[in-house]
Amino acid sequence: MPQIFTASADTRLRAGMLLLVLAVLGAGLFIGGYMDSSYATLVGWTRSQPVPFSHQHHVGGLGIDCRYCHTGVETSAEAGLPPTHVCMTCHSQIWTGAPMLAPVRASLATGKPLHWNRVARVPDYVYFNHSIHVARGVPCVTCHGRVDKMPLMRRAHPFQMGWCLDCHRDPGPHLRPPDQVTRMDWSDWDEHPQDHKLYGELMVKAYGIEPSKLDDCNVCHR
């Protein structure tokens, strides 16, 4: 009876197993890296928009408060996109002939809304509510970044669960006084982190925030 296995069969088997283990590890590393890369999180990417609206100009340059356009942010889950009427509050008088704003004028004339492409988006299984975050003093800049420095809107942070939980598990240091929520460049406490820490601790108590419950699944997923 001939030999079933050649002399090198053992070595080949071991090499094969080693390759398999390396492949699984490599795949894990690759997928993990991919999920954290800006390809998956879209951090820093701009999207093409019907009008190249500049937050840098309107927020940084003119100093218009976020709530002038995003009127729902204090009272509802959605911050709200301004209707064309809001754009035309100023642009009925200034830059009235600018070709860049032609889609805005067309929208007002026809009643057809501008089709903006969404930049800050969480998946449908996340029930994010703007009003409660703003009411408790989580500033806009924490999630949306320095929009006053963005000529074109881009995502500033990876909207991943780990990033949400970082704050949910320790909300105190992220809270600001309510009248500073929309300020982009607020730095009063940067030199006195102790004040900020103390304020956060007091507010967590005052508002009855329970960090131990803030990472329950059903806080965000229903």
Nearer to another protein, 68 or 207 (CB): 68
192 binds another protein (CB under 8 A): no
Query: Which runs of consecutive H residues, i.e. helices, occur in the chain?
Result: 9-36, 38-41, 55, 66-69, 84-91, 102-110, 130-136, 140-144, 161-168, 193-206, 211-214, 217-220
In the complex, the smallest distance separating the C-beta of residue 7 from another protein, rounded to whole angstroms, is 27
Shortest approach of another protein to residue 194 CB, angstroms? 28
Instruction: Count residues near another protein (CB under 8 A).
Output: 37
Closest listed residue to residue 173, CA positions, set 208, 135, 211: 211
173 alpha-carbon distance from chain centroid: 19
Per-position x/- string for 24-43, each x denoting binding to another protein as judged by CB under 8 A, each - no binding:
x--x---xx-xx----x---
Instruction: Based on the shown chain and the rule CB under 8 A, indicate whether residue 180 belongs to the binding site for another protein.
Output: no
Scored b (16 or more CB within 10 A) or e, 9-34 reads eeeeeeeeeeeeeeeeeeeeeeeeee
Should residue 17 be labelled a site residue for another protein when binding is judged by CB under 8 A? no
Diameter of the chain measured on Cα atoms: 98
Question: From the list 93, 187, 194, 218, which residue makes contact with another protein (rule: CB under 8 A)?
Answer: 93
Minimal distance in Å, beta carbon 170 to another protein? 27
Q: List Cα–Cα distances, 143 to 15, 32, 58, in angstroms.
A: 48, 23, 19
Query: With binding defined as CB under 8 A, does residue 13 bind another protein?
Result: no
Asked whether 38 and 163 are in contact (CB, 8 A), the reply is no
* 161 near another protein, rule: CB under 8 A: no
Residue type at 78? E
Scanning 80-88, 97-105, 133-141, 201-209 for contacts with another protein by CB under 8 A, the matching segment is 80-88
**Contacting positions for another protein (CB under 8 A):** 24, 27, 31-32, 34-35, 40, 61-65, 67-68, 71, 78, 80-81, 83, 85-86, 88-90, 92-95, 111-113, 115-116, 123-125, 179
